[in-house]
Structure 1
Amino acid sequence: MTGPIRRPVASLWIGERLHYLNQLCLLSHVKQGHPTTLYCTDTVTNVPEGVIVKPATDIMAIDMEIVRQTSESFLSNVFRYKMIQKTDAVWIDCDAFCHKPFPDEMQNIFAGHGFRGALNCGVVYIPPKGALIDQLLDYYDNLPAAPAWFNKQQRKRLEKQDPSLPHAVRIYNAERTSFGPQAFTWFAQQTGDYEKALSPDFLYPVPFQLNDVFYDPYGRVEGHFTDNTLSVHLYTNGTKPWWRKNPPLANSYADRMCREIGVNPQDALEE
């Protein structure tokens, strides 16, 4: 007997192969009953069964040259809000593990992050019509000379960039997170949505600085969780190379979740 069909979730993958942690996180949403779509810029050879695959161009035109000059996260920061606007799905990073289903009635799914309290957009849903999404998309589509929140030092870094580079690349080089958490936090403050943020335990119960705990067989990861916890961010962008290239140690959180969901890490290690 299958469980209830819940609200859709979606993510983006740039490249041809998923790591086992990405497979694990995508399948965790499938297991919780969320129709899970992976938008892809390439043909991905190891998407787990149960995950819906669609071309990223269903959402927006993809400029891979800009991606090459910045990073995959640059594109995903623009993509997520266009995806929400077009599909009304919850955005999930491919390293966000679904601990509990997202409630159907929850209209603002975003939270503070780490020790600093800035908002993160690794897991996010905001209403597809409203001031916040309009201001975010206007920012991406009509980049200002400099982001409004840039301080004097950031503006100096921007001024030093090669003027022949695309403007988006210059802003990115001046401040890597200017298209991600910085933009989301700033515009949420402008629209009054900042006050709607969930506490970190909902979506980021383990601070980024402690991400090694996911691979420690004696680490008590669940000690960070509360009854509120819906998602557990595994922070693959900060994972040490050894963990990416080797299967997790027995009884670590990563190992236990792989066995629970049915993912074989040995089949999808970083090469």
Structure 2
Amino acid sequence: MESDINKHIQSLWIGGQLSKVEQLCIQSFIDHGHNFHLYAYEEITNAPKDTIIHNARSIIGEEAIFKYKTGWGAGSVSGFADLFRLLMVQKNGGWWVDMDIICLKKFDFEADTVFCSSYEGEYDQLVNNCVFKAPKDSDFVQYCLDQIALIDLKTMSFGLAGPFLFQKAVKELELEKLVLPYRYFNPIAWKNVSELILGKMSTSSKVKEVLRPLLKPDTMPGRKIGPESYTVHFWNEIWNTGKLDKNGQYDKGSLFEKLKRKHGIK
């Protein structure tokens, strides 16, 4: 019998209307039997039916929201979201997912703590914070919050309170055994979003992609969804930096359009 904690998925949206990516995120989890709890500071009128919306102020006041000032991710609120997810899980326990995570099959993990990883080329796979599960009394979450208290959030660089912090915490607390292979949650690497998720490939490139497993098997990591994949990550920051339209129409054979059709996102 599944635990209730596995059924409930939690996330945050800062802003008003959702794009097709966020709608797809929510609907995909609902369609796979999860409850989706969305925290927000503003009224959201276009969330999928059955989305459970919560006032984000119950976790932390909106006066705490900040954006990266310079460098990669400038203007993004993802640094604040890094803080929010820790406070939320400390209060509620359970799952956090980013709003660009699309569910491929129902979560059924018995462990009370689960970490994801992403494929980072020469660095192989590294811990990421886009999907994770932890109990309310997690030493890991408290460690991360203690570390964040030492950081100047308004001037920090991208990822310092996010993936980099998770990598440090997992190592310091010796939790490596709880980190799942990148194929479970991030089978498609961030650098392959345009090609493999949006289908922005020439005909010849599509042919080469079909032949890649045979001709260049060593280049396959970060390029394939497998039977063990629970989610696929659409990597929101890549859309932002590449000025990609999250409400746009793409190649009908692209993963994005296939998933939109599957989950009724129009």
The secondary structure found in structure 2 opposite 1:118 is strand
Q: Would you say how many aligned residue pairs link Structure 1 and Structure 2?
A: 235
Residues 224, 68 of structure 1: alpha-carbon distance in 2 compared, 3 angstrom cutoff? closer
Residue 143 (structure 1) shift? 1.6
The secondary structure found in structure 2 opposite 1:100 is coil
Q: For residue 91 of structure 1, what is the aligned residue in structure 2?
A: 96
Say whether residues 1:179 and 2:161 are aligned partners. Answer: yes
Q: For residue 143 of structure 1, what is the aligned residue in structure 2?
A: 150
Amino acid at match of 2:130: G
Q: For residue 257 of structure 2, what is the aligned residue in structure 1?
A: 255
- Map of 1:66-215 to 2, 5 A cutoff? 66-67=66-67, 71-115=76-120, 116=123, 117-140=125-148, 142-143=149-150, 167-170=152-155, 172=156, 175-212=157-194, 213-215=196-198
Residues 88, 208 of structure 1: alpha-carbon distance in 2 compared, 3 angstrom cutoff? same
The secondary structure found in structure 1 opposite 2:119 is coil
The secondary structure found in structure 2 opposite 1:36 is strand
The secondary structure found in structure 2 opposite 1:113 is strand
Say whether residues 1:58 and 2:43 are aligned partners. Answer: no
Residue 138 (structure 1) shift? 1.6
Range with bigger deviation, 242-251 or 6-15: 242-251
Q: For residue 154 of structure 1, what is the aligned residue in structure 2?
A: none
d(CA) in 1 for partners of 2:184, 2:247: 29
- Conserved 8 A contact 2:192-2:223: no
Residue 214 (structure 1) shift? 0.8
Q: TM-score if structure 1 supplies the norm length?
A: 0.79
String of CA shifts for 1:44-98, please: whole Å, max 9, x gaps.
2311112111111122223255348563101110111111122223101000001
Q: For residue 228 of structure 2, what is the aligned residue in structure 1?
A: 228
Residue 236 (structure 1) shift? 2.2
String of CA shifts for 1:197-241, please: whole Å, max 9, x gaps.
100000100111111111118577997122321111011220233
- Conserved 8 A contact 2:118-2:126: yes
- Conserved 8 A contact 2:19-2:247: no
The secondary structure found in structure 2 opposite 1:9 is strand
Identity of aligned residues (%): 22
CA RMSD for the aligned pairs?
Answer: 2.4
Q: TM-score if structure 2 supplies the norm length?
A: 0.80
Residue 249 (structure 1) shift? 1.9
Residues 194, 62 of structure 1: alpha-carbon distance in 2 compared, 3 angstrom cutoff? farther
The secondary structure found in structure 1 opposite 2:37 is strand
d(CA) in 1 for partners of 2:9, 2:94: 5
Q: For residue 9 of structure 2, what is the aligned residue in structure 1?
A: 9
Residue 242 (structure 1) shift? 4.1
Residues 185, 260 of structure 1: alpha-carbon distance in 2 compared, 3 angstrom cutoff? same
Amino acid at match of 1:143: L
The secondary structure found in structure 2 opposite 1:66 is coil
Greater share of helix: 1
d(CA) in 1 for partners of 2:65, 2:37: 25
Amino acid at match of 1:199: P
The secondary structure found in structure 2 opposite 1:139 is helix
The secondary structure found in structure 1 opposite 2:246 is helix
Amino acid at match of 2:250: P
Residue 104 (structure 1) shift? 4.5
d(CA) in 2 for partners of 1:238, 1:128: 32
d(CA) in 1 for partners of 2:223, 2:26: 23
